[in-house]
Amino acid sequence: MVTLEPELSETSTVREHVLDNGLRVLMQEVHTAPLATVWCWYRVGSKDERPGLTGVSHWVEHMNFKGSTNIPRDKVKGIIEQYGGYWNGYTWIDQTTYTETATRDALDRMLFIEAERMGSSLFDPADCESERTVIISELQGGENDPDQLLEQELTATAFRLHPYRHPTIGWISDLKTMTRDDLYGHYRRYYVPNNATLVIVGDFASDDVLRAVDSHFGRLESRDVGERLLPVEPDQQGERRVTISKEGTTAYLKIGFHGPSVTDDDFFPMLVLDAALTGAKGINLWASFRTPPPQRSTRLYQALVNSGLASAVNGGVVPTQQPFLYTISITATEGVELARLEQASLQAIDRVRTQGVTPEELQKAKNQLRARLVFENDSITNIAHQLGYFETIASWRRYPAIGRQIADVTLDQVASVASRRLTAANRTIGWFEPVSPR
């Protein structure tokens, strides 16, 4: 079965197996195209970083594309491309992950690459040094975009204690001072089979693949990753604000509310609430957040874009292991004052906070989310992403149940989540105020 249609999904054909060393393997056969995908997930992200080492998870990810004991540095280039394949990785607050998608005859090669990455990446000192400037270039490219800069400052303002406040790419001062030993220490601590999930989806026979997994990964030893210090963010006591005044052409407004974690009962009502405010994105960070959602009839689009105050509005509820932010991002139309835009935005938000959503909005949000769940599972890469993503933040078993959980959300639950979470005391407001060049 390929699709995870909500009605059918709880009988999904995922096969789970845990190796003796603790590596969790999830497999799903999909025979519609001669392709296979592998995702290897690690339970480590920027939330596991302390000041001084911010950005280390992401830098380690970069170093894991630079050779291993059995993949010499000069053989990395083309190792998957020769199968017409695609490979990549990403790091975020809860996770670091690596993926390959290629023709099915490359499957053994993909498993070999991931086993090498888990056990024996080189971290050559010269490569570590050269990558420092590549990552600083990545950071500076992000800073060129006022919207990204504001997102970073808003998040850092909304969190006082929890390490979700750090940007995943790290703070520039840490990127300048971190050492090869810092990188390698982080790698050795977290890149162990008992901290990983291997997801394989595509055109193969599971029994054969499981034997191959065992031969590639079985030799890797498990090791305790040690204690993780994860402080609980204290309740916010009042509205916070941050204003960036820099040269630019366009004004941006962001409003961030402390949101629910994926295991919180508020999560699905929040997903519906966001759909009513800005349109349903779905829940696939990899696939669904790249294109605008159906949103023209939503509350904030009507109040801000159709009124001419904003040129774009977006919101996103992203599943996370611990409570993160629900952030609404708004681009001001040329000539519109941020104060006026903020007032109109807060008015629309307050209306839903005090009155909840209508039965029609609830039904529309559910229709949208049901359709998005189908659309975001249109490829083996996306199916595998969701299994691994959910296993890393909670459990993959939560994923097939999502369709039903969305269908079960009630009007009262949405009203309750809106009244408790969309309050002034729970929000941080960010302005990017463009100033003209001197």
Partner 1 sequence: MTPPRSGPLEAGLETRGLSPTRDVLANGVTILTKQTRTTPAVTLHASLGAGSTSDPSALAGVAHFMSRTVDRGTSRHSADQIAEELDSRGVSLFVSVGRHALSLVSTCLVEDFDIVLLLMADIITSPTFPPEEVDRRRGEIVTLIRQDEDSPAAVATDALMAMLYGDTHPYGRPIRGTVATAEQIDCEVLQRFHREHVSPGALTMAIVGDIEPGRARDAATAALGRWSAPRIDTTAWPPVPTASARRTRTIPMMNKSQTDIAYGFTAISRSDPDFYAYSLMNNILGQYSIGGRLGESIRERQGMAYYVTSSLDANVAAGPLLIRAGVNPSNVERAVQSIDRELASLRGDGPTEQEVAESKQYLIGSLPRALETNAGIASFLQTIERFELGLDYDVRMPGLVQQVTRDEVHAAARRAIDPSKATVVVAGPYDGPLT
Q: Which positions from 192 through 251 interact with partner 1, judged by CB under 8 A? A: 246-250
List binders of partner 1 among 142-171 (CB under 8 A): 143-146
Asked if residue 369 binds partner 1 (CB under 8 A), the reply is yes
| 19/275 with CB nearer partner 1 | 275
Per-residue three-class SS string for 343-383 = HHHHHHHHHHHHHCCCHHHHHHHHHHHHHHHHHCCCCHHHH
Q: Compute the distance between CA of residue 139 and CA of residue 167 in angstroms, rounded to an integer.
A: 10
Q: Which stretch binds partner 1 (CB under 8 A): 18-26, 124-132, 153-161, 314-322?
A: 124-132
| 321/377 with CB nearer partner 1 | 377
Of 426, 432, 240, the residue nearest 338 (C-alpha): 432
The CA angle 114-207-101, to the nearest 5 degrees, is: 40
Q: Compute the distance between CA of residue 196 and CA of residue 192 in angstroms, rounded to an integer.
A: 7
Asked if residue 362 binds partner 1 (CB under 8 A), the reply is no
Of 245, 234, 61, 238, the residue nearest 153 (C-alpha): 245
Of 57, 89, 91, the residue nearest 76 (C-alpha): 89
Rg, C-alpha atoms of the chain: 22
Of 169, 70, 99, 83, the residue nearest 384 (C-alpha): 99
Asked if residue 99 binds partner 1 (CB under 8 A), the reply is no
Asked if residue 7 binds partner 1 (CB under 8 A), the reply is no
Q: Which stretch binds partner 1 (CB under 8 A): 96-104, 117-125, 351-359, 387-395?
A: 96-104
Minimal distance, residue 227 CB to partner 1, in Å: 34
| 196/380 with CB nearer partner 1 | 380
Q: Which stretch binds partner 1 (CB under 8 A): 11-19, 151-159, 288-296, 408-416?
A: 288-296
CA distances from 430 to 222, 244, 328, 329, 427 (A): 44, 8, 10, 9, 10
Asked if residue 131 binds partner 1 (CB under 8 A), the reply is yes
Beta bridge partner(s), residue 247: 435
Q: Which stretch binds partner 1 (CB under 8 A): 20-28, 114-122, 132-140, 411-419?
A: 132-140
| 360/408 with CB nearer partner 1 | 360
List binders of partner 1 among 309-338 (CB under 8 A): 311-312, 331-335
DSSP assignments along 3-24, one per residue:
---HHHHTT---EEEE-TTS-E
| 103/263 with CB nearer partner 1 | 103
Minimal distance, residue 314 CB to partner 1, in Å: 13
Q: Which of 179, 297, 355, 410 binds partner 1 (CB under 8 A)?
A: 297
Q: Judged by CB under 8 A, how many residues of this single chain contact partner 1?
A: 82
How many alpha carbons lie under 13 Å from residue 319 in its C-beta half-sphere? 26
List binders of partner 1 among 43-82 (CB under 8 A): 65, 75-79, 81-82
Asked if residue 284 binds partner 1 (CB under 8 A), the reply is no
Asked if residue 180 binds partner 1 (CB under 8 A), the reply is no
Largest CA distance in the chain: 67
Q: Do strands 196-202 and 24-29 pair parallel, antiparallel, or not at all (unpaired)?
A: parallel
Q: Which of 305, 313, 344, 394 binds partner 1 (CB under 8 A)?
A: 305
Q: Is residue 51 packed enough to be buried (19+ CB in 10 Å), middle (13-18) or exposed (0-12)?
A: exposed
Q: Which of 14, 26, 27, 35 binds partner 1 (CB under 8 A)?
A: 35
Minimal distance, residue 70 CB to partner 1, in Å: 10
Residues 375-414 as x/- pattern, contact with partner 1 by CB under 8 A: x-xxxx----------------------------------
Q: Count of H helices and E strands in the chain?
A: 15, 11
